[in-house]
């Protein structure tokens, strides 16, 4: 009967592939706490509330609190969703953004405070390594699937993306995944000291899906001094020839 009921052809979740759930929340492809604005909102009807919730509460939090995204948020002073200064924990204490270019806050743990007073410690060491690379990888896969969906909504349901969407959502995998990180530290220091202008931001933050050979797809997230690449289809092998550590780092999960 025309005009009766909801048009279910318009809503289908790109992660669980179901049409029956609720589709009421706004999903940011790039989270607000990484600087994603209205330009980064996924079109309605593509991510159900249950999946959105799961990403928000289980995966995004952990990925955003882990290296390299924690460093990016704190040292560039990108506020959290609740407009608080971001922070992360190190062994020596809590590192806080001050929201002033070139300045950071530090709340030492008691043992470190004592060690600095007696002179046995004079430096803070920050470990530039993810504690949970699987969460970083799943978070990148989530963004990649969403970017593809925003551009080609019908093709995102193809079987070739099933392994990626399933691993992103559930953490269960049948193949090994990986992501490649490219970090330009000289540029990072430049932005940390000087701050980031609106213009620099709009010119140097991007999310794109790159089509490779033989129906393979790769997601590329570019955040000023930091590039992250993750394959969205299985069978893509990392090409590390000529890419030197630590500028380029490969994480297998
Ligand atoms: Zn869903």
Dump pLDDT digits (tens) for 139-195.
999 999 999 999 998 899 999 999 999 999 999 998 999 999 999 989 998 888 888
Helices marked H in 25-155 — which ranges?
A: 49-54, 61-64, 69-76, 110-117, 133-151
% residues pLDDT > 90 (the chain): 60
pLDDT of 6 above 50: no
Q: Is 202 helix (H, G, I), strand (E, B) or coil?
A: helix
Question: What spacing in Å lies between the alpha carbon of 138 and ligand 1's midpoint?
Answer: 15
Question: What spacing in Å lies between the alpha carbon of 14 and ligand 1's midpoint?
Answer: 7
Question: What spacing in Å lies between the alpha carbon of 148 and ligand 1's midpoint?
Answer: 16
Question: What spacing in Å lies between the alpha carbon of 219 and ligand 1's midpoint?
Answer: 21
Average pLDDT value for residue range 13-40: 92
pLDDT of 135 above 60: yes
Rounded to whole angstroms, the Cα distance separating 140 from 146 reads: 10
Dump pLDDT digits (tens) for 195-233.
888 888 888 999 999 999 889 999 999 999 999 999 999
- Percentage helix, strand, coil for the chain under 3-state DSSP, each rounded to 5: 35, 20, 45
Question: What spacing in Å lies between the alpha carbon of 23 and ligand 1's midpoint?
Answer: 9
């Amino acid at each position: 009967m025309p005009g009766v009921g909801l048009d279910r052809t318009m809503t289908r979740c790109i992660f669980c592939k179901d049409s029956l759930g609720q589709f009421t929340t706004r999903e940011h492809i790039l989270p607000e706490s990484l600087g994603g604005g209205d330009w980064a909102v996924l079109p309605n009807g593509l991510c159900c509330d249950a999946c959105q919730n799961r990403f928000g509460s289980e995966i995004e939090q952990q990925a955003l609190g882990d290296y390299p995204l924690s460093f990016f948020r704190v040292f560039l002073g990108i506020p959290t969703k609740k407009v608080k200064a971001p922070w992360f924990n190190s062994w020596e204490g809590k590192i806080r953004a001050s929201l002033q270019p070139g300045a950071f806050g530090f709340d030492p743990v008691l043992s470190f405070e004592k060690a600095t007073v007696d002179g046995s410690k004079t430096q803070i060491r920050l470990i530039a390594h993810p504690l949970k690379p699987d969460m970083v990888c799943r978070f990148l896969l989530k963004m990649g699937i969403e970017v593809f969906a925003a551009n080609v909504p019908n093709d995102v349901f193809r079987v070739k993306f099933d392994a990626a969407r399933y691993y992103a959502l559930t953490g269960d995998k049948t193949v090994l995944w990986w992501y490649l990180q490219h970090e330009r530290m000289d540029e990072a220091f430049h932005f940390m000291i000087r701050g980031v202008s609106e213009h620099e931001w709009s010119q140097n933050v991007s999310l794109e899906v790159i089509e490779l050979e033989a129906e393979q797809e790769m997601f590329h997230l570019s955040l000023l001094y930091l590039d992250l690449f993750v394959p969205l289809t299985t069978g893509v092998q990392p090409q590390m020839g000529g890419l030197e550590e630590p500028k380029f780092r490969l994480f297998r999960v």
